[in-house]
Structure 1
């Protein structure tokens, strides 16, 4: 018999699925529970729902995203000036403040009180530290991210551009090699803090522009006085994520501890969680 389908974002995931994720985190004693999935797949929505359900059960969950650890706009502009212009755009490996991420996840993995950084995506900059949430007296933490535990590509895989952006603006491969080197060298120490990883496996990268546009519209609706990206800007933006996104989609079902298939409406087909290798 096929697994049941559950409603998904923007309305949110069904209570039964949310409960299964919370139960999975608790059953494995996770201090840092990872929720991965390509852009727009519902990671942050699910993390918030799990935290809310945990609260209704008398438990506390700290929630942070890999996106909250982006370098500041000024830092990325400096990196773009010294290394490659495409590094001005947040997102790919190499555009995160890994010292801040490491410090925060070290505290979370030990259950220590800490401030949780926050990034303003409309302003494209980190929020002031005075506005960060402080995590304390929590049972565990959730880290969500689109490329958690993604391995780097080989030199052969890096040779050919994957889209028009790479063809026109990274013909010599300097930017993609920089990102790939960072992914293989600098991020494993961050991934090591994740005790268990759930991967939301959507239909593929081709649906990301549609999902991410829906996310952008919701972001704009939440703050009508500010201007989010246009559709054309977003179509270019997601090309920055395509190479690593496709690598994540190919490899993470074999790396994550629990993989849940999503259809094109983000509805998960949910079998019982299995351990890797079962």
Structure 2
């Protein structure tokens, strides 16, 4: 655990905090212990401190496809419950536009996808749901089922969540528009993100303009926590590995006759049609080429507005946390935070 991040989160004794959280007990959705130690436990301390200070903290988690954001969110919920903290979690995917509106918003895009790029989300609904929740009520949000419409996904109801704190994860959380003009976008992308097809380059100004509409929602979050691969070739591998694991688990369960309908749905990530490899490839590509990491993800390592980046965790090919740092913390900030420690 990074000492500056540890002190800023109010953790004086990491071992004691680990014991308080019960992090050594079995987790329902395991992630690598290094990610629990370096990332999840400090984040939980921040959330608990915010609640105990009388607030309703909302935190955004940014990470590429396949990095394990959903698994991390579920682990956070399990550990939070052990602390008596009611934590509501969601993905930015839950705020996708309804089916027809999504098709209209993404018509003609160079990836041939019906979701993922900026502009495919009902970002006003996210803002409104957080505003109402901060007003004291339950968190009311849509639920997105990726298995519907042949694997293209659609809304599948509404959840009402009684919670003290909120975490929303997504691959574009916190990303800022650059105000790109067409020629500037092409020049910058060709220099910093080589390998984009001509059609992908031509669409960059469009995605940049769409990202402008997300900034009001980003400002509703107090902090941004970032999961970053050590190599940007890893997200594609991770996503395809996850798909393969789910397929194997479902097939093995079916052969043994041990999966009921609910378990089959869980194994299939919601229960429905699989995406064909070409469609899955397009989804992964659309996340990496609509907002090229060199232009949009790298600035998150130092960015302070509209939401401050509190911690950045670097994950290796096995999704182990090899480092987690607090980029915006100086010694004075860390010292000030330690004076109101949560764990003594």
Both proteins in one fold, TM over 0.5:
yes
Residue of structure 1 equivalent to 2:316: 263
Hey, what does 1:276 align to over in structure 2? 328
2:273 is aligned, of 189, 214, 227, to: 227
More displaced 10-residue stretch of structure 1: 70-79 or 31-40: 70-79
Partner SS state of residue 49, structure 1: helix
Q: Deviations over 1:200-232 (max 9, x none)?
A: 121132111101112333555413973322333
Q: Which residue of 1 aligns with 2:44?
A: 22
Number of equivalenced pairs? 266
194, 199, 205: which is aligned to 1:177? 205
Match of 2:91 among 41, 55, 65: 65
SS in 2 for 1:94: coil
Checking the alignment, whether the CA contact within 8 Å between 1:61 and 1:139 is kept in structure 2 is yes
Separation of aligned partners in 2, 1:219 and 1:73: 25
User: Which residue in 1 is equivalent to 2:306?
Assistant: none
Structure 2 residue 103 is matched with structure 1 residue 77:
yes
Q: 1:230 to 1:125 in 2, by over 3 A?
A: closer
> Are 1:115 and 1:135, in contact at CA under 8 Å, matched by a contact in 2?
yes
Aligned residues of 2:48 and 2:85 also touching (Cα < 8 A): no
- Contact 1:76-1:88 within 8 A present in 2 as well: no
Structure 2 CA distance for partners of 1:2 and 1:179, relative to 1, 3 Å: closer
C-alpha displacement of 1:53: 0.7
Q: TM-score, normalised by structure 1?
A: 0.82
Contact 2:88-2:166 at 8 Å conserved across structures: yes
Q: For residues 120-146 of structure 1, what are the alpha-carbon distances to aligned partners after superposition, in whole Å with 9 as ceiling and x for unaligned?
A: 1122233332xx32112x220101111
Q: 2:224 aligns with which of 185, 188, 197?
A: 197
Aligned to 1:7: none
* Unaligned ranges ≥5, structure 1: 4-9
Counterpart CA distance in 1 for 2:138 and 2:279 is: 38
Q: Tell me the TM-score normalised to structure 2 length.
A: 0.68
Please say which structure displays the higher CA radius of gyration: 2
Per-residue CA deviation, residues 171-220 of structure 1 (Å, 9 max, x unaligned), is 6x2x332211011x201101001111111121132111101112333555
Residues 3-42 of structure 1: pairs in structure 2 closer than 5 A: 11-14=30-33, 15-17=36-38, 18-28=40-50, 31-42=57-68
